Amino acid sequence: MLRYTLNRVLQLIPTILGIYTLVFLLMRVLPGDPAQFLAGAHDDAQTIAALRASLHIDQPVWTQYVGFLSDMLHGNLGNSFITRRPVLDMIGLALPNTAVLAITAMLIAVGIGVPLGIIAATRRNSLWDTISRLIALIGVSIPVFWLGLQLQILFGLQLKLFPVSGLGFDNHLVLPAICASMGMLALIMRMTRSSLLDILNQDYIRTAYSKGLTARRVNVRHALSNAVLPIVTVWGTSVAGLLSGTLLVEVIFSWPGVGRQLVDAITQRDYPMVQGLVLLFALIYTLMNMLIDIAYPLLDPRIRYNG
């Protein structure tokens, strides 16, 4: 187990190097001289030279690649072109806001998705089953940004139940979190239902019933505990969707998180910010996948990894 975990952590190194290389290449396909472009008309030659030095673009590509990598490993992602503050500090300000939004959305998705899935599976073909399947279908088909606008119109403007936009860890959080949770909720519900249905047909479930156990006990102890693994898997894979979802939600609800920061940075052509944020998103996503891989054998003792 320890060896496997260690191995999995070491595998991160080539992946992160690859991510870095891709981002590096992405920033180099910019047409023209980035320094000239970034400096704008009003900057003098000295500023441009300084910009060029800070971007390492006055050096050969290979030196640029190593220089920027070493900067990055020292926690130096450069300065924002707009605010002139370190990229890392800027991200540090926005990241907690995104984390709160994403975690709340995740709690809603799991808190509603799993119970709905259980109800749908144990009362197959009932009204509940139909309703939850409908939610699952719409959840993966609805554009997050449109859902956000509709929630704003209905609950914010018409019913005046919640604030339409803005940051706040109170009722400001309700609409954005519901909106961001939708896709994940649909996937988790669907997976809970289908994996429970598979398991309820297994021999050991019949055995459990024939021992005289109550339906509730069979469902929880025998069925649900075995359905945890696929649910965790789909939860992990939908984190990417959640990251993209929170980005759109942050834009709609004026939530000052890293997603909105990325969109702003792109429209303002603030390339160091774009670079830093794309690296951050890829890192979060890669780390999530690693944690899920490591969690597998802990959740299901039948899975053994050798080396």
Rounded CA-CA distance 252/176 in Å is 8
Q: Which residues, 6 or more positions from 137, have their beta carbon under 8 angstroms from its beta carbon?
A: 186
Q: Is 105 in the site for another protein (CB under 8 A)?
A: no
18, 92, 115, 166: residue in contact with another protein (rule CB under 8 A): 18
> How big is the chain, counted in residues?
307
Q: How far is the CB of 18 from another protein (least distance, A)?
A: 4
Contact 182, 176 (CB under 8 A): no
Q: How far is the CB of 70 from another protein (least distance, A)?
A: 21
Number of residues that bind another protein (CB under 8 A): 44
3-state secondary structure of 86: strand
Q: Is 54 in the site for another protein (CB under 8 A)?
A: no
DSSP symbols for 159-226: S--S-SS---SSGGGHHHHHHHHHHHHHHHHHHHHHHHHHHHTSHHHHHHHHTT--HHHIIIIIIIHH
Instruction: Give the tokens for residue 153.
Output: 């119109």
Stretch touching another protein by CB under 8 A, among 71-79, 144-152, 169-177, 211-219: 144-152
Q: Is 152 in the site for another protein (CB under 8 A)?
A: yes
Contact 277, 91 (CB under 8 A): yes
Q: Is 132 in the site for another protein (CB under 8 A)?
A: no
Q: Is 37 in the site for another protein (CB under 8 A)?
A: no
32, 60, 75, 143: residue in contact with another protein (rule CB under 8 A): 143
CB of 54 or CB of 289, closer to another protein: 289
Q: How far is the CB of 289 from another protein (least distance, A)?
A: 8
205, 263, 292, 299: residue in contact with another protein (rule CB under 8 A): 263
Q: What are phi and psi of 174, to 5 degrees?
A: -60, -60
DSSP symbols for 218-262: IIIIIIIHHHHHHHHHHHHHTHHHHHHHHHHHHHHTT--SHHHHH
Place of tokens 């909105």: 260
Query: 240: exposed, middle or buried (C-beta count within 10 Å: 0-12, 13-18, 19+)?
Result: middle
Q: Is 29 in the site for another protein (CB under 8 A)?
A: yes
13, 45, 157, 159: residue in contact with another protein (rule CB under 8 A): 157
Q: Is 233 in the site for another protein (CB under 8 A)?
A: no
Q: How far is the CB of 243 from another protein (least distance, A)?
A: 5
Chain CA centroid to CA 90, Å:
19
CB of 209 or CB of 256, closer to another protein: 256
CB atoms under 10 Å from CB of 120, counted, come to 26
197, 251, 295, 299: residue in contact with another protein (rule CB under 8 A): 251
Q: How far is the CB of 213 from another protein (least distance, A)?
A: 31
* Amino acid in the structure at residue 48: I
Residues near another protein (CB under 8 A): 14-15, 18-19, 21-22, 26-27, 29-30, 137-138, 140-146, 149-150, 152-153, 157, 240-241, 243-244, 247-248, 251-252, 262-263, 266-267, 271, 274, 278, 281-282, 285-286, 289
